[in-house]
Amino acid sequence: MATIDRWIAHWAEHRPDHPAVRFERRSLTYLQLPHHVLAMVRWRAGRGVGHGDRVVFYGLNRPEQLILLFACARIGAILVPLNNRLSVAEHRYQLADADPVLALATDGFGEALAAARPGAATGSMAIVDLDADQGWTATGIDPTTGAAEREGSAAGAVGADDAVLMVYTSGTTGRPKGAIHSQRSLFHTVLNGVAQQDLTADDRVLTVLPLFHVGGLNIQTLPALHVGATVQLQRRFDPGDCLEAIADYRPTQTLFVPAVMQAVLAHPDSASVDFGSLRGLNAGSSVIPEHLIRGFMDRGVPVGQVYGSTETGPTAIVLRYEDGPAHVGSCGKAALHTELRIVDGDDADVGPGVAGEILVRGPHLFVGYWRQPSATAAAFVDGWYRTGDVARRDDQGFVHIEDRLDDVLISGGENVYPAEVESVLLEHPGIGQVAVIGRADARWGDIPVAVIEAVGDRPVPTVEELRAWCNDRLARFKQPRAIVVVDELPRTALGKVTKHLLRQRLADGSGGAGPVRPPTR
């Protein structure tokens, strides 16, 4: 296979005037995009960036990040996008670990990037503010005519197995690790996305999720560019701006996470916006509450789902739009280039209806953790990647996620899957956001604790009220035995609750914890 920048070169030849990326009041055609990539390649070469070097991007969604990725693919460098919502200390750790030679900032993040530079470990790392320094575009290349030539020596030295993207894991289970994707693995996760969504050159994709995450980058955005479609790129998510883009731009597909789905449906303009252009809404990042899925289906929008992780690209298990209505709550079946198993504690395959760990295998998997060979080896068993997620397959082969293995608690000898409990609690009218974690108990081993995010002056239900609510919905051993009220649940950039941080904060009394209501039986 050719390096991934070949996608845009192909469409520059076949659809030169078709918009590739639209951003605010600007538009880049497929003819112009390769010129910008070549300009970035030449500019970075002048700054000493070569094969295998890491290049950081730290900012909001911008066309420059996509240009930078394709430029990295051209010369064999590795793009390291930073999560702009992390702290200086978290970025300092990642910069020291990645040891980049160049860091590019936009949207005022240059100062924070300089503050995060750890010193000697990245003493050679240059920081460039792309908003202040437009030197990379001043290369004498006319971006309006002709086809951008390839850098022959660089192109010939780069292959499908070269690393191109390193994304730090969200840290939901501990300190983040740099998951490396090669051009081959990135290509195959893109193919998985194209197949799931039936993407064509006539699609118009609205991208509102951050490109520093593999979901925002790889589920729809890169697949759209692979097939010659148009990407409408939003600088950041805002529900009002999102609805305005749907009304004005008339996208055919978009990708949301549960928090985004909730914000869009709850916005006062939502009822008046015509969603009719959307032939599909994809959703992912965590288990999707049923009421959010039905909220869009009731508006005539088919809802699909994607399951995966940073390590899987992420597209590994997919629910196609046409399967959505009959399989609400499922994340679907194995993607085009994915093999799937569900296994018990002895790594033996289990049958339909039996919960076990998801194992996946395929060319879209990451190639390893940066400078952590032991962690890489531990992530696989006989070539299968251990996801750490618990799921079951129904009689038709559709996968239903139960929970993280690390989150499963055992109460009185019975497995309790917090995601199942959370889905029931979220239906209670007095609860906005909730996470269920386990707490050690001398009698039962673990007890389920509902950690509820306070919503204004809304009264929080008591333990007894919640248990009464759950009586005909959950077995007694699954029902919460205590309630903790917090100002805000700790979350990743895409809305996943970081339960290890939640447990830690509750254990040491930090994190805005409010009243604790004791266990009852």
Residue-wise DSSP of 221-248: IHHHHHTT-EEEE-SS--HHHHHHHHHH
User: What integer pLDDT is reported at residue 298 of this predicted model?
Assistant: 96
Exposed/middle/buried for residue 480 (C-beta within 10 Å: 0-12, 13-18, 19+): buried
With tokens 């809304």, the residue in question is 458
| CA distance linking residue 515 with residue 268, whole number of Å | 32
Tell me if the pTM is above 0.95: no
- Span 29-34, average pLDDT: 96
Confidence band of 521 (pLDDT split at 50, 70, 90): very low
Structure confidence at residue 175 (pLDDT): 72
Among 327-336, 354-363, 379-388, 485-494, the minimum mean pLDDT is found in 485-494
Confidence of residue 520 (pLDDT cuts 50, 70, 90): very low
Question: Does the structure show a pLDDT above 50 at 155?
Answer: no
Check residue 119 and give left, alpha or beta (phi > 0: left; psi -120 to 50: alpha). left
Q: What domains can be seen in the chain, in order of their start residue?
A: 409-517 (3.30.300.30)
Alpha helices in 117-182 (DSSP H): 152-157
Query: What pLDDT does 494 receive?
Result: 65
Ranges 43-47, 405-409, 464-468: which has the least confidence = 405-409
Confidence of residue 144 (pLDDT cuts 50, 70, 90): low
Distance (Å, whole) CA 132 – CA 128: 8
Which H or E element spans position 167?
strand 163-168
CA distance 138 to 39: 8
β 368-369/178-182 pair status: antiparallel
Helix 63-75, helix 32-45: angle, nearest 10: 60
CA–CA distance, 444 with 441 (Å, rounded to integer):
5
Percent of the chain scored above 70 by pLDDT? 91
CA 352/CA 354 separation, integer angstroms: 6
Query: If you compute the radius of gyration of the chain from its CA atoms, what whole number of angstroms results?
Result: 23
Specify the pLDDT at position 467.
87
209, burial (CB in 10 Å: exposed 0-12, middle 13-18, buried 19+): buried
What are the C-alpha distances in Å from 345 to residues 2, 72, 116, 300, 348?
Answer: 40, 41, 42, 42, 7
pLDDT at residue 123, rounded to an integer: 55
- The model's pLDDT over 82-136, given as tens digits with 9 standing for 90+, comes to 988 888 888 898 999 999 999 999 999 999 999 998 774 455 789 999 999 877 7
* One-character DSSP codes across 67-120: HHHHHHHHHT-EEEE--TTS-HHHHHHHHHHH--SEEEE-TT-HHHHHHH--SG
Q: What confidence tens digit (pLDDT) does each residue in 360-413 have? A: 999 999 999 999 999 999 999 999 999 988 899 999 999 998 877 778 787 876
